[in-house]
Amino acid sequence: MAIPDYQTAMLPLLRLASDGQEHSAREAVEKLADHFGLSEEERKELLPSGSQATFDNRMGWAHTYMKKAELLESPRRGYFHTTARGSQVLLQNPDAIDNKLLEGFPEFRAFKARSRAPR
């Protein structure tokens, strides 16, 4: 299987975090690599820069985007859990969570507008 993109990882990541417990980023990477059936080679594949594993990077983006949409929150560094909003999204039983869905939240739109603003 190819390494999934960050949007494909969003729904499984939110489901993982929906149990009311804090989860570490490392735990999430391992569990979702298993979920997607990634081989050891795929788990170790590096970004072109060689600085980080591709799957770890994509999981980081999935986490960041959902955090900016307030579906996840981080009570402490390296840990996260689902917010009430994230639980509400899961109750709607979405087929996927992607940027289009996240655009429905004003906090995410504000984040995207800030990241596009000239510096």
Using one digit for the tens of pLDDT, what is the confidence trace for 72-105? 999 999 999 999 999 999 999 999 999 999 999 9
Residue 106's pLDDT is 98
What's the CATH architecture for 6-116? Orthogonal Bundle (1.10)
pLDDT of residue 1: 65
CA dihedral sign, ordered 2, 12, 103, 63: negative
For residue 116, the model assigns a pLDDT of 78
Long-range contacts of 99-106 (CB under 8 A, 24+ apart): 99/7, 99/65, 102/65, 102/66, 102/68, 102/69, 102/71, 105/69, 105/70
**Can you tell me the distance from the alpha carbon of 119 to that of 117, in angstroms, rounded to the nearest whole number?**
6
Per-residue pLDDT tens over the stretch 36-74: 999 999 999 999 999 999 999 999 999 999 999 999 999
Return the bridge partners of 107, or none.
none
Average pLDDT of the residues in 6-24: 97
- pTM to 2 decimal places: 0.93
Output the pLDDT for position 119.
61
Q: Write down the domain spans for the chain.
A: 6-116
Q: Is residue 6 over pLDDT 90?
A: yes
Residue 115: predicted pLDDT: 79
Contact predicate 68/111, CB 8 Å: yes
